[in-house]
Each structure stands twice: as structure tokens, then as C-alpha cells.
Amino acid sequence: MKTQWMNALALAAGMTGLFTGSATAADYPVRPIQVIVPYSAGGGTDLSARIMADTIKKYLDKPMIVRNQPGGGGSIGTSSILHARPDGYTLGTGAQGPLAMLPHYGGVDYSIDDVEFLALMGRNLMVLAACQGAPFDDAQGFLDYAEAHPGEVRVGNSGAGGANHIAMEGLANAAGLEVKSMPFGGSSAAVTACVGGHIDGVVASPAEVLPQADNGGLEPILVMEDKRIDVLPDTPVPSEFGIDFAWSSWKGVIAPKGLPEAVKKTLSEALRKTFQDEDFLSRMKDMGEFVDYRTGDAYRELAEKDSKTAEAIIRKLGMYGVNQQ
């Protein structure tokens, strides 16, 4: 009986906090925290966020609740994260597309300056793979062939103006090549077309490429990183060919600007512990996710750098501000 009363009291206290905002930042969190994922349930970003919410229970007193708000390539959910009250009860996953790329196309009501970066969770590395029946089967072959046949190599990506599209155009730009970028409706459609030999190359993440590579459906030829990666030790990186280009898409946890300092500290600390948690790391690894924890400041730096790179490529593609009202 007594505990029931206690619970009721706690609930009442929580409600009071909810409506009056009287709970101070030092008590944070007094109620569940909502995490907005700007993509549909079931995708890589969503599942990562759910694993995060499951793990962070250990380090925060209140649960995290994942809420999906897809649409507009992630801009709708991102906009509602950034326009939420900065009290630490509405956070979101900050992904590269909506933060560093979409603002350059125009038609979104936020910019990268509105973002409070809390912690980088992980990155999706970009792999260029040669498809069934492609006229090349390694990086050098690709570079030579593309140079001899400008604009002929058909490279599939996950969607027009998306991270994989920008990755390929950026690489081509840095290497002085011209390719034919073909936007499919999602990575899996592009990889399928590649395995079926309907295109010459595809840009996708290691998790998407590896199972097919093991089956001989396609051949990873280039990883767009600075250094070779563990899961593809034999696949070279652009710098080995004197090409200065690295690109990956990423996701982390963001909040609207103006969080109270104490709240920001509590969250950053809990996120750091979560992203270094053994359980979290092993689950993410099984799912093929590449965890790369970085602090809020390092996260911001990465986002701003990519935003600049993307802007240059988007301008070159003639897509800058196309959706501006």
C-alpha cells in the first residue's frame, strides 16, 4: 500500500514537473526521454537507436523512447527535433543526410547551426563495388576504364542526392573522372541490380556489400576511408592511388540548441558510456554497424566538414538550392 502511494506521489511530482517546468535541470531526467528517429521503423538508423535506448537504461534513471517520424528524406523528423523545447526530453538521431546535405538543396526550415551535437554513434562506411559482368574488377581497373570511357560507367546508389550518390560524385570529382550515377529506390535495390549485372558498380555500406561479396555476387574494389578497414583488409583506399577523398555517412545523437549545461553534461556522459558498452558494441557489430564514438565537439567538426564538402559537390551537380521556395 505504501509503495503505491509513493508511486502515485512520484507520478504526481513528475506531472507537476511536466506542466510547470519546475523540476530543475539538476534533477534531470525526471521523466522518459523521447528520441526522434527521422526514418521509418526497421532501418539501420532506427535499429541502432533502439539498441542504444535498450543499453542506456543502465546509465540513465529514466527510459528512452524511440519515436519514428519519417518523411522528406529525414528532414521532417530532424526539423521537429530541432524545433522542440531544449529541455533534454526531446532528442533525436542526427544523420548526415538531413543535417549536412538537405539544407543545401533548400526547402528545409533548419540549418546545421541550429544543432546541439551530443555524441557521434557510428558511421556507415562507403564501399565501391564492381558488379557482375563489369568491365573492371579492381580499383586500378575501374580508374583506367572510367578515364577511357568518360560518363559510361553506370554506378548505382541509394537515391538521388543521398549520401551514396554524393560519395560517388565526390570520388569522381577528386579523381578527375566522370561516371553515370544511377539513383535507385534504396541501397538494397541498387545492390540487387548490381548482383544481377544490370549496372557496372554500386556504392553501399560494408554490411550491404559483404554478404554479396562472400557469395561472389560482386567485388568490393575501393573503401572511401583514409585507411584500410578491418573487415575488408585487401580492399584499397583512395589515397593509395593519390586521390584525396574520404567519405562516410554517420549518425549520432542531437538536441535543439540551448540545452541547460547540466542536462548536456548528464546526457553526454550517459551516451559516452552507452557507446562504449560491451553489449552495445557486440550487438551493433552483429548488425553490421560500424560504431565510432566521438564527443559532441568532434561530432560537430565532422558534420561541418562534410557539410562543406557536400555543398561543393551539390553545387557542381547543379542541385544547390533546387528545392528553395
Partner 1 sequence: MDISPHVLAVFDPEVLWTIALGTLGGIVIGALPGLTATMGVALLIPLTFGMAPILGLNMLIGIYIGGIYGGCVSAILLRTPGTPSSAATVLDGYPLAQKGEAGKALGMATIASFVGGIIAAVVLAALAPQLATLALKFGPAEYFALAVFGLTIIASLSQDILKGAIAGLAGILIGCVGADPISGISRYTFGISGFASGFAFTPALIGLFALSEVFSQIEKILSDRVERMKVSGIWPSRADLKGSLTTMVRGSVIGTFIGIIPGTGSGTASWISYNEARRTSKTPEKFGTGHMPGIAATESANNAVCAAALIPLLALGIPGDVVTAVLMGGLMIQGLAPGPMLFQQHPDIVVGIFTGTFVATIFMLVFGLLGIRFFTQILRVPRRILTLAIVVFCFVGAYSINLNVVDLYTMVGFGVLGYFMHKFGFSQAALCIALILGPMAESNLRLGLMSADDNVGVLLSGPITATFLILAALSLLLPLYRSYRGRRVAVAAQ
Query: Residue from 17, 183, 236, 260 that binds partner 1 (CB under 8 A)?
Result: 183
**Cell numbers at residue 92, please?**
533525436
Query: Residue from 29, 44, 201, 256 that binds partner 1 (CB under 8 A)?
Result: 44
Q: Are 207 and 279 in contact (CB under 8 A)?
A: no
Burial 223-250 (b: 16+ CB within 10 A, else e): bbbeeeeebbeebbbbeeeebebbbbbb
Taking residues 281 to 320 in sequence order and writing x for each that binds partner 1 by CB under 8 A, - otherwise, the string is: --x--xxx------------------------------x-
Which of these ranges, 9-17, 90-98, 156-164, 270-278, lies near partner 1 under the rule CB under 8 A? 156-164
**Residue 75 parent element (H or E):** helix 75-82
Query: Residue from 29, 33, 64, 79 that binds partner 1 (CB under 8 A)?
Result: 79
Closer residue to partner 1 (CB): 14 or 159:
159
Closer residue to partner 1 (CB): 85 or 265:
85
Examine residue 29 and say whether the peptide bond preceding it is cis (omega within 30 degrees of 0): yes
Looking at residue 289, the DSSP 8-state letter turns out to be -
Contact between 86 and partner 1 by CB under 8 A: the answer reads no
Length of the chain: 325
Query: Residue from 97, 103, 161, 238 that binds partner 1 (CB under 8 A)?
Result: 161
Q: Are 104 and 90 in contact (CB under 8 A)?
A: no
Closer residue to partner 1 (CB): 176 or 197:
197
CA 185 to chain CA centroid, Å, is: 17
Tracing cell 546535405 back to the chain, one arrives at 101
Which residues of this protein are in contact with partner 1, per CB under 8 A?
Answer: 40-44, 46-47, 50-51, 54, 67-73, 75-76, 79, 105, 107-109, 154, 159-162, 180, 182-185, 188-189, 191-193, 195-199, 207, 210-212, 214-215, 217, 283, 286-288, 319, 322-323, 325
